[in-house]
Chains A and B, each alone.
Chain A
Amino acid sequence: MKTKLIFLIAFFAIITGSVCGKNRKDYEQRVMETVEKDRLTLKDLGKPALTNPEASTMILLGDTQTYTPKMCNQPVLEMMTAWIAYNIKPLNIKALLHTGDIVEYNARVDHGSAFDQNSKQQWEWVSHCFKRLDNKLPCILIPGNHDYSNNWFSGEESRNTSQFSKYFDPSRNYKTQEAIYRVFTEKHKHQTIDNVIYKIDVGGKWGEVYVVALELNPRKEVIDWVLKRLESKRLKDKLAILLTHSYLAPNAVMPKDAKFLWENLVKKAPQIRLVLSGHYAEFYGSFKGHSAVRSDVNDVGKNVYSILFDPQCTYGGWNGSGGDGWLRLLEFQPDGKTIKVRTYSVLYGHSPMTKHLAWRTAPYDMFEFTLDK
């Protein structure tokens, strides 16, 4: 809770500073310094292509919230989904994973002073962008803290308030619908897609991979449900990927909430070998401030990798473009155990003038790891 509080305070201090204009100049200078430093890690590695023609890809989108509340940034998000749709065949894309915080505000009627789009416009825009992928690709999204309540998650009482299930109802995309394996159901309540286990056929030696997509800071009953499901005969020997909004923090630190999840779920479930998350991002937007990778050893002695990817603040949060079109390619190698991670900007990759900026090559942005079998 403490870490979360610190992040929240820092977050607000910087927003107020930047929006009020008092620290605007210092702030912009710091942003530009970060830009200069990070620029050295950018390269032109050509058009995205599979490194091995037999491999298959999953696309990882970080938090998209900052693309939505300002009209001028919105088309960048569609650039990303349109690019994914175009590359489904060439990159053999099997699924899209989204780390949550789909929009800035879940249910607000006004748009606030810093922005020009209210919640309805934000949800409708994201939903519009994902039309490019409907019936083409399973899209696995989860709610982040901004997808609950009015502004954002405000305690356990705001569970099930996300509008996400309404706008991303699986009926819109039969590929997602087919991929649903089990849905967490609560008594006396509507079913939501906050907690779902999806089945993705990655093909080759990988076979079926299960994506466990969970709500923000999953409740005890959700964790128990997942453990029970994973113990079933069918999933016993399968690979599972956990997708949840808040887990790893920058510099590969595991905050308290994450430790709870680690102790109660990840460590105990031998199927889970990879955890993907977003949520944490340094406001000045350096690459290192929003991407990290670490590995831990679980109860059966196997490595569990966890990845943080949340480019929402890349260079200046609300003053930036919302994330500069950065997305991740997770390339599942034909050996059935190696995953190559690369980070690509659709925004820069589109123009010959800027394609030299399209790939991030620092060790936390471009790496590969091998899962223990």
Chain B
Amino acid sequence: MEIPNSDNRECEFMNVKKILSIASVACATLACFGTVKTPKEVIDRVCSVYQIQNKMTGAERMAYYQKMIEKDLPTQKDLGEPRLSARGASTVILFGDTQTYTPRMQYQPIMELMTTWVAVNIEKLNIKGLLHTGDVVEQNNVARAYWGANQNSKQQWEWASHCFERLDDKIPTFFCTGNHDYGHYSFDGQKSKGTSQLTKYFDVSRNEKTMHSIVEIYKEPHKPELLDNVLYRLSLGGKWGDIYILSLEFAPRKEVLAWACELMKKYSERCVILLTHRYLSFGDIVLPEAENIWFDFIKKSPAIKFVVCGHYAPTYTDFKSSVAFRQDTNAIGKKVYSMMFDPQSIGGGWSGNGGDGWLRILEFQPDGKTIKVSTYSTLFGVSPTTKHLAWRTAPYDMFEFTLDK
């Protein structure tokens, strides 16, 4: 694969930006507090991935990437058509960041391959809902296409919206806002809150299942209601009963976290899944920028059993760096699991195909507390020639865990 020059520029630009942000914040946090849970060597490893990639020329980068692919290939298997592992289990589908599917018209249909696959499997897998980790599009509100891409924001949002038409009125879909869903290209400070076009394109009137799932919405005085901070109810049936999905905006503000804290007191006996864009990073660390979510909210709210996020994967990455999973203990001594899933750079980096159609299948077991996670590619699964690549079977891609109830 060749990368046009403009794409290289984009990668470098974004690399520099990301390195600066993570390095500076990591150092600052380490220096100021010292109580940070993240070991320094992990942060160093995280930073070094960006630094290594940034120093490379285009050819070196491709060679590096090829090495990643060769490393990952043996973990890909043909496990056949997806099916439920136990009778009475139900499924929730997880989409990672879809941003990279949207700005290049040639790759857009891969995203629709994902939503059609979900639509076709609703009955077979007993699919109850879909979670999206945010960064639905690459640029929230730009008038022209940037950096070697060919679709502007309107086209990107319309495409994402079009793909999800396949699921309208069939299953509820739960989104959270990512940094790319704010501002022009990306989130530029708390002042850009309220600028996301998510509420416009994914207005719940389009999908009655989502509409009926809404329990609470965060409201600001003098401002329209937005889908940035919402509590949804999701009925899984069986021993699970109703679970709740709390979707919080990118980098939640203090007042939002306070609202969520207060809200969660009402649901302390329930099982709530927190869906927010930025929380874990690859390397299984809580991002220094997101530690306030842990300290100010999750730790204090025993209702939150499981956190799902996206956002943080380097460009030209291997499978391992596009995912993360960890376990923490909250204030009352119960386990809280968190999981990051962001395949956006798998299909050829940040300017690649968007993530090879990878999605996650979260299977809620009939015992009412175990969740089985598997990772499936709708792109490879669609063709008999490539279905041997359709499942990722490494321990970080296929595992199960039991919630502490």
Contact = CB atoms under 8 A, between A and B. Distances in A.
Contact of B107 (A35, A71, A350, A357): A350
B385 A39 contact: yes
Interface stretch (A72-80, A143-151, A223-231, A242-250): A72-80
A19 interface: no
B112 A352 contact: no
B84 to A, nearest CB: 18
A357 B66 CA distance: 15
Contact of B383 (A87, A321, A355): A321
Contact of A79 (B76, B110, B384, B389): B110
A75 B386 contact: no
B302 interface: no
A353 B69 contact: yes
Nearest to A28: B384
Contact of A75 (B1, B65, B112): B112
Interface stretch (A106-114, A212-220, A291-299, A312-320): A312-320
Contact of B348 (A46, A86, A352): A352
A350 B107 CA distance: 7
B382 A73 contact: yes
Given A31-B384, A47-B1, A319-B384, A75 B113 contact: yes
Interface string B332-366: 00000000000000011000110010000000000
A83 interface: yes
A75 B116 contact: yes
Contacts, number: 103
Given A347-B383, A352-B352, A72 B117 contact: yes
Interface in A286-343: 315-316, 319-321, 324
Contact of A351 (B2, B104, B347): B347
A32 interface: yes
Nearest to B114: A75
A350 B65 CA distance: 15
Contact of B347 (A32, A315, A350): A350
A75 B109 contact: yes
Nearest to B162: A128
Contacts of A14: none
B379 interface: yes
B166 A71 contact: yes
A285 to B, nearest CB: 8
Nearest to A129: B109
User: Top 8 nearest A-B pairs by Cβ distance?
Assistant: A86-B106, A75-B112, A78-B109, A315-B384, A79-B109, A75-B113, A75-B109, A321-B382
Interface of A: 31-32, 35, 39, 46-47, 70-76, 78-79, 82-83, 85-87, 116, 132, 315-316, 319-321, 324, 347-348, 350-355, 357
